[in-house]
Amino acid sequence: MLRAAITAIHHCVPTRRLTEAELEARFGAKNVQSIAKLSGIHERRIVEPGTTAADLGFAAAERLLAGRNIPRETIDLLIVATQTGDYQIPGTAYVLHERLKLSQHCIAYDLNQGCAAFPYALAMAQGQFAAGLAKCALIINTDALSGIIHPQDRTLVTLHGDGAVATLLEVAKGEEGLLGFHFGTDSAGWRYLCLPASGARQPRSEETRKAIADETGNVRSAEHFQMNGQAIFHFAIHKVPEVTNEALKKFGVTVADLDLVVLHQANRFMIEQIYKKLGVPAEKQFFYLENVGNLSGASSPAVLSEAVRQGKVKPGALVLLAAFGVGLSWGLVLIRIGQDGLAPIAASTDYTPAT
Amino acid sequence: MISDEQLRQTVARELRIPAELLQADTVLYTLPGFDSVQLLMLMVALEEIGVKLPTNEAANLRTFGDILALERR
């Protein structure tokens, strides 16, 4: 039975910076500094009007394929994980399949998942390797939440950035590859991260366009992404350590066996709380949010990609990646990096739309 | 069991406000300088002194009375 291994990864973020100074002018210095102190986020990258998550995903994938000289016809599986696709129908995978000039033999589909998207996409690819349906997969995690966040909703504007990650999976050699998965769902919390007027249940109307300020001064309409920050924070600092310990037991490893523990980058205080509860020492931690923000579904693979760029992922390294969010859902994957290592792609991570 | 007064003192200390400001119907967001960040820090502080806070209760914390109710259950 074939197993998949990550053999290349590359991420892209827009060049447009949303700075603390801009946000202080919008929300006041005290509010912005208070949030930055907790979140550890001082700058976010957001797309220009007219640029979509698919554009970012295309750039990341194009650079990865070019950087590794991967013939397009060898890609036989494309999974695009996004919640901000170009269209409701068809999936963004078909748009990107055409733009990337992939072959007609390539399976392509979307995965509608939020911050936990990466381990879910890896598991789907692994399943298709095991079933003999794929031998060379491209996973694109891409989101541009800036387009669905109300500009006066400081709880979200201050935290979120846009970004995309392309990951190449090939048949594992030896001990490398995706060694184990652990998933779960607490659907009692699905309302805590929600875009209400976005589908059949609540069609868009004059009513859904009305923006309303809540008692904390945050403004949003039913057509904007909404988050109950306190519920999500609570879920993350309690559920994530619990399920991570379950996963470690299931995989038969301990924190001492791991070289790197990658967490979804929601905010720094939250990540530190989780690392602390798990007893992860500083040298096995990695943060990638200060200058890019929370990249939603692209967050956890972007951490891995940035760690690769910084030379923090050594050949043969054992990496645990945990991602969590919309659903509420969680996904964990244990990854053994190949002995050849994961060399960074020699391309920029900045994306500027063509004029 | 944590008394109402212990909870009042803990919340006042965490928020750096006089304890007298905290009445059961006090809406946390109306307190001086209170923001969403302070709410998260407060949640951590409450759990550190043993207050059990399920996620669905955390989602609806709004008044000081909501905090008192957590401990009275």
Q: What is the sign of the dihedral through the CA atoms of B60, A214, B26 and B42?
A: positive
Which amino acid would we find at residue A222? A
pLDDT bucket at B51, cuts 50 / 70 / 90: confident
Give the closest residue to B46 by CA, choosing from B64, B33, B30: B64
- CB distance A285 to A325 below 8 Å: no
pLDDT value for B14: 87
> Which token pair is A292?
């890019």
A188, A215, A234 member nearest B58 (Cβ) = A234
Task: Spell out which residues of chain B touch residue A216, defining contact as CB-CB under 8 Å.
Answer: 29, 35-36
Burial class (CB in 10 A: 0-12, 13-18, 19+), B51: middle
> Which token pair is B56?
């669905």
Give the span between the Cα atoms of A196 and A243, in whole angstroms: 28
Q: Cβ of A38 and B29 within 8 Å?
A: no
Cα dihedral A55, A56, A58, A64 in deg (nearest 10): 160
**Within its chain, how far is the Cα of A215 from the centroid?**
31
pLDDT digits (tens, 9 = 90+) for B5-44: 888 998 898 888 899 989 999 998 888 878 888 888 888 8
**Would the pLDDT of A123 be above 90?**
yes
Q: Determine which one of A106, A115, A160, A267 is catalytic.
A: A115
- CB distance A236 to A165 below 8 Å: no
Establish whether A218 is a catalytic residue.
Answer: no
Give the span between the Cα atoms of B29 and B51, in whole angstroms: 21
Tell me what the mean pLDDT of segment A313-322 comes to. 96
Domain spans of chain A?
Answer: 1-355
pLDDT value for B56: 84
Rounded to the nearest 10 degrees, what angle do helices A229-251 and B36-48 cross at?
50
Q: Which residue in this structure is represented by tokens 């979140």?
A: A39
> Which token pair is A305?
């990609």
Q: What is the sign of the dihedral through the CA atoms of A352, A80, A77 and A109?
A: negative
pLDDT value for B46: 87
Which segment of A49-53, A199-203, B17-21 scores lowest on mean pLDDT? B17-21
Q: Which residue in this structure is represented by tokens 């000289």?
A: A69
Tell me what the mean pLDDT of segment A322-350 comes to. 94
Give the span between the Cα atoms of A164 and A221, in whole angstroms: 26
- CB distance A53 to A142 below 8 Å: yes
pLDDT value for A51: 96
Q: Which residue in this structure is represented by tokens 């996963």?
A: A247
pLDDT bucket at A1, cuts 50 / 70 / 90: confident
Backbone angle region of A254, left / alpha / beta, with phi > 0 → left and psi within -120 to 50 → alpha? beta
- What domains appear along chain B, each with residue ranges and CATH number? 4-72 (1.10.1200.10)
Task: Spell out which residues of chain A touch residue B36, defining contact as CB-CB under 8 Å.
Answer: 35, 155, 216, 229-230
pLDDT bucket at A34, cuts 50 / 70 / 90: confident
Q: Residue B62: closest CA among chain A residues belongs to which residue?
A: A215
Q: Is the ipTM of this complex over 0.90?
A: no
Mean pLDDT estimate for chain A: 95
CA distances from B43 to B13, B36, B50, B67 (A): 13, 11, 11, 10
**Would the pLDDT of A303 be above 90?**
yes
pLDDT bucket at A325, cuts 50 / 70 / 90: very high
CA distances from A208 to A86, A199, A215, A223 (A): 21, 12, 19, 6
Establish whether A12 is a catalytic residue.
Answer: no
pLDDT value for A314: 93
Task: Spell out which residues of chain B touch residue A269, defining contact as CB-CB under 8 Å.
Answer: 40
Q: B31, B40, B51: which to substitute to probe chain A, counting the most A Cβ within 10 Å?
A: B40
DSSP state of B63: B
Of residues B60 and A109, more confidently modeled: A109
Q: Cβ of A229 and B36 within 8 Å?
A: yes
pLDDT bucket at B54, cuts 50 / 70 / 90: confident
Of residues A250 and A353, more confidently modeled: A250
pLDDT value for A75: 98
pLDDT digits (tens, 9 = 90+) for A218-251: 899 999 999 998 899 989 999 999 999 999 999 9
Q: Is A322 helix (H, G, I), strand (E, B) or coil?
A: strand
Cα dihedral A75, A15, A45, A305 in deg (nearest 10): 40
Tell me what the mean pLDDT of segment A45-66 comes to. 97
Give the span between the Cα atoms of A96 and A102, in whole angstroms: 9
> Which token pair is A255?
């924190």
Give the span between the Cα atoms of B17 and A66, in whole angstroms: 58
Q: Cβ of B35 and A31 within 8 Å?
A: yes
pLDDT digits (tens, 9 = 90+) for A135-190: 999 999 999 999 999 999 998 999 999 999 999 999 999 999 999 999 999 999 99
Give the fold, CATH level 3, of A1-355.
Answer: Peroxisomal Thiolase; Chain A, domain 1 (3.40.47)
